[in-house]
Structure 1
Amino acid sequence: MGLFNKKGYENFGLAMEKRRSIYDIQGTVPLTDAKIESILTDIIKHVPSAFNSQSTRMVLLLNDQHKKLWNLTAEELKKVMGPERDFTETENKINSFKAGYGTVLFFEDETVVKGLQKNFAAYADNFPIWSHHTNAMHQFAVWTAFATEGIGASLQHYNGVIDEAVYTNFDISHDWKLIAQMPFGAIGTEAGPKEFQPVNERFIIKK
């Protein structure tokens, strides 16, 4: 897919390195909508999940639906912040997401999780944790795939504030638990240098 010509892991390693949080996004992308849908289809099919639960759900918002999400987010945040708070900085941030091309919403289907808890009671406490693991893998896969195609994205977490507005305005089942939002678009400004903690403090090898 996309930008890289190296073989094997080198290609994947470059893709991981390319994936960054891009906040300055624009309302275009170098792909057709059909290609974006194809990428997301591959990801929802092939990303692994505990017990092959396939509990992750994704919703792709484009055009007015994308803008609608961020307008609703601004409205809900105003309610939370109250009229006495200066909304300017928050509004600018929300508008930067709305300026993008689209948004991917990530959910977990709680009916699947609860079904696994019932059928495999010994692991019941772990299924919600494993559910978030698989959702995170889907997020990473989408984010990295976008990066290989020159699309910038960031991961946002307004769930807890916008959930009801999302369920109502996009006709989403309440059984789908909202996990994250990923606005994306053409890269306006590349991400700056990234600081790394010492790898040898985070990765141990024993032979």
Structure 2
Amino acid sequence: MENTVINDLKKRRSIYALGKNVTQTPAEISTTIKETIRQSPTAFNSQTVRAAILFGENSDKVWDIVAETLKEVVPAENFAATKEKIDSFKAGFGTILYFTDTATVKQLENDFPLYAENFGFWAEQALGGAQQAVWTALAAENVGASLQHYNPLIDEKIKEAFNIPDNWLLRAQMPFGSIEAPAGQKEFIPDSDRFLIFE
């Protein structure tokens, strides 16, 4: 099947060997990320996805916060492996912090009470769609990335370090950079376990 979307999705892999050898400028990468999130769908066009795009020392600061936080909770004998993993994210060109705007979610819950219990779920769906879209857009430009989840452990320190609004709830971190080593082989469960087709 020749489909550019599917071909780009195949390029979107979890890249853990990241570097700083990208050809794009921070401004060009920021434009790609912003436009991709802008074009990603949200329920009721609620636009609940927020992002902080960090480069250089600001990106490094995210992973320093992760390391400092985990050092307090990971057993000392296991911390070296944890630190090595964190350093692999820090080695990248930048980091995207993904948030949900909880104020918008609460407003929708108030405005549409019949659907109130769903807006939190729909915000998560919107976030997942935006993350995959950004990840794929970066992969299409030969920029590797992975998706990490150190929240809620780092939430307060991140808010303080970057003056994040209180209504932005941290949901994920995406380190990105040059692809210094390819991803491993991807395995798939059988189609019969995943799909139902009715013709």
TM-score (structure 2 length as normaliser): 0.96
1:167 matched to 2:159: yes
Structure 2: runs of 5 or more not aligned = none
Name the residue aligned to 2:49.
Answer: 56
Over the matched positions of the two proteins, sequence identity in percent amounts to 44
Q: 2:35 aligns with which of 42, 54, 58?
A: 42
Residue 199 (structure 1) shift:
1.4
Name the residue aligned to 2:145.
Answer: 153
Q: 2:109 aligns with which of 70, 93, 117?
A: 117
What is the aligned length?
Answer: 199
Structure 1: runs of 5 or more not aligned = 1-5
1:129-140 → structure 2 map (5 Å cutoff): 129-140=121-132
Q: 1:101 aligns with which of 93, 97, 102?
A: 93
Residue 28 (structure 1) shift:
2.4
Q: 1:187 aligns with which of 179, 185, 194?
A: 179
**Amino acid across the alignment from 2:117:** D
**Amino acid across the alignment from 2:195:** F
Name the residue aligned to 1:3.
Answer: none
Partners of 1:111 and 1:72 lie apart in 2 by 26
**Which 4+ stretches in 1 moved above 3 angstroms?**
none
Residue 85 (structure 1) shift:
4.1
Residue 31 (structure 1) shift:
1.1
**Amino acid across the alignment from 1:191:** A
> How well do the aligned residues superpose, as a CA RMSD in angstroms?
1.3
The answer to whether the Cα contact below 8 Å between 2:50 and 2:99 also exists between their aligned partners in 1 is yes
Partners of 2:20 and 2:108 lie apart in 1 by 40
Name the residue aligned to 2:72.
Answer: 79
Name the residue aligned to 1:22.
Answer: 15
**Amino acid across the alignment from 1:16:** L
**Amino acid across the alignment from 1:128:** G
SS in 2 for 1:156: coil
SS in 2 for 1:126: helix
TM-score (structure 1 length as normaliser): 0.93
